[in-house]
Homo-oligomer: A and B are copies of this chain.
């Protein structure tokens, strides 16, 4: 089923729930319920762990996994996306709040709530204004680099919990220095728990699944079992800590988690806090949206469904607002949890709502049981989860394919690790835009000739082609706009200066998709300069939209030469020495 088009009904556009709820039946409900149970089991340790990563009390992770899921179920368009706290966004939340220099837990919690609120409003606005395309300004390599660097940072930030020491810092260097400074404080029991949990979780991920498949389990089911590994680690280490009283031996535990449903909360409207959190909130929103929408699209494609990116913005925006009013922090669609949801058979966003009920029950019942949960266990689940995000192969891929992309991704990784997440991702975006513009600032221009026996024209340097005496034919391989307008003028005049007895310059425009006002003025200038040297300037193969625009200016009227529909027509006319200057200009539009 496709998401309905906006024209059909405004209500169903903004409330996708109306589309699927109409045909919701018992079978679908069963599938959704099964998926919800599995996701709930997976989500409990994750939400605790990501709250820890964000530097927040554990219960905020649970709170961020209840109402936001319901909001997404109402407003979201993906059938399988599982919303909640995720690693990269939690790291960015920690970095953003860190800038405020707050000290009391209440202030920090309020800042996280405010961050979720700003992010939610921003995402919803983008969605309503249909500005989802803005996310495209993040190039794939920049995203890949950012996620990889974030994974490394996150893993490094969790090492302190594994060693049972305190360490601070939002950059790799700060973290490593801080870890070395405090290494003497290492708590051996904590380290033992942390290392065994990490080893166990790695084994679950790499070894358990093949074993289960070997034992006859279906691969999909084996995968789901493997994903439940963290729950086992949580249960076992909590029991050990309780039974042997390890908390008294220095093992840091989660401690008292308030029992009960999320409290109602409101963001701060302190302007100085908003001004500090605005940029981080924008970055968190965009990164969260890009991550989420790519998971949603991948999963939708597998079932030949479609998602609507602008409505997704509204879904995620309302989720974050929901998180802000119920004591949570920024959320988005998580990769591994959505895949589990999908594989477990979730058919509609109702699965998310059922998961919310599951987490809600957990806050009512399970929280006392989490008292003795060691922080080292949560750190281990984070480390194992994020290391799967780390993939430096993007460096090699881009190095081989495009140095420009390589530069952008390298800058993103290095700056994210050494300066921070916000600087890293901002630099990646700005650098990729700048480098793209830079590439187009010196366009490829090829002198072309006729491939004998055909009507085709090719680069004289790459092919055996014929050229006409007194005629210089240049194919311009770029749209002409302000950044490269002057380059073309200089280039053509330089080439002309090198040629003897030149009578005609033919500019082939099959790859010129735009001629803006600056470029138009340059072409007018070029025409004037060539005329002064008694050289006629001709244009060929102008694209329709470009021609439509040129006709609205004086340029075609002032042009010393002609406009030809095809380069071959120009070739024939110039070869025959046909009287040029006759008006064919109206015909020429591709």
Contact = CB atoms under 8 A, between A and B. Distances in A.
Given A133-B442, A404-B516, A479-B479, 9 more contacts: A133-B487, A136-B487, A401-B517, A402-B516, A432-B482, A433-B433, A440-B479, A444-B543, A511-B543
Q: Assembly of this chain: how many copies?
A: 2
- 4 closest pairs, A vs B, by CB? A139-B482, A140-B518, A405-B517, A511-B511
Contacts of A585: none
A553 B440 CA distance: 22
A454 B487 CA distance: 34
Contacts of A512: 511
A589 interface: yes
A455 interface: yes
Interface size class of A (residues with CB under 8 A): 35 or more
A521 B140 contact: yes
A517 B397 CA distance: 9
A552 B401 contact: yes
B402 A543 contact: no
Interface stretch (A97-105, A249-257, A321-329, A456-464): A456-464
A31 to B, nearest CB: 24
Interface string A461-478: 010000000000000011
Interface in A403-441: 404-405, 432-433, 436-437, 439-441
24 contacts: A133-B487, A136-B441, A136-B487, A137-B483, A140-B482, A140-B517, A141-B518, A142-B482, A397-B517, A398-B517, A400-B553, A401-B552, A401-B553, A402-B517, A405-B516, A436-B483, A436-B516, A440-B479, A440-B514, A443-B513, A462-B544, A477-B543, A478-B479, A511-B543
Contacts of A483: 136-137, 436
A425 to B, nearest CB: 14
A400 B511 contact: no
B443 A437 contact: no
Contacts of A477: 513, 543, 545
B544 A481 contact: no
Interface string A491-525: 00000000000000000001111101110110000
Contact of A484 (B136, B516, B521, B565): B136
Contacts of A589: 462
A301 B543 contact: no
A138 interface: yes
A136 B482 contact: yes
A455 B402 CA distance: 34
A203 to B, nearest CB: 32
A319 to B, nearest CB: 22
Contact of A441 (B133, B462, B518): B133
Contacts of A516: 139, 402, 404-405, 436
Nearest to A522: B140
A522 to B, nearest CB: 8
A446 B547 CA distance: 15
Nearest to A293: B486
A402 B141 contact: no
Contacts of A552: 400-401
A130 interface: no
Interface of A: 133, 136-142, 301, 397-398, 400-402, 404-405, 432-433, 436-437, 439-444, 446, 454-456, 458-459, 462, 477-479, 481-487, 510-514, 516-518, 520-521, 529, 543-545, 549, 552-553, 565-566, 589-590
Nearest to A462: B544
A133 to B, nearest CB: 6
A510 B433 CA distance: 23
A432, A478, A482: residue with the most chain B Cβ atoms closer than 10 Å: A482
Nearest to A461: B544
A136 B141 CA distance: 27
A437 B137 contact: yes
B436 A136 contact: no
Given A140-B482, A140-B518, A140-B521, A549 B444 contact: no
A103 B269 CA distance: 36
Nearest to A512: B511
Contacts of A446: 544, 590
A455 B455 contact: yes
A518 B590 contact: no
A187 to B, nearest CB: 45
Given A444-B545, A482-B138, A510 B513 contact: no
A518 B433 CA distance: 13
Contacts of A518: 139-141, 405
A301 B138 CA distance: 42
Contacts of A484: 136
Nearest to A486: B136
A44 to B, nearest CB: 34
Contact of A590 (B400, B432, B459, B517): B459
Contacts of A142: 482
A368 B410 CA distance: 63
Contacts of A456: 455, 565-566
A136 B522 CA distance: 12
B462 A590 contact: yes
Contact of A444 (B133, B458, B513): B513
A274 to B, nearest CB: 21
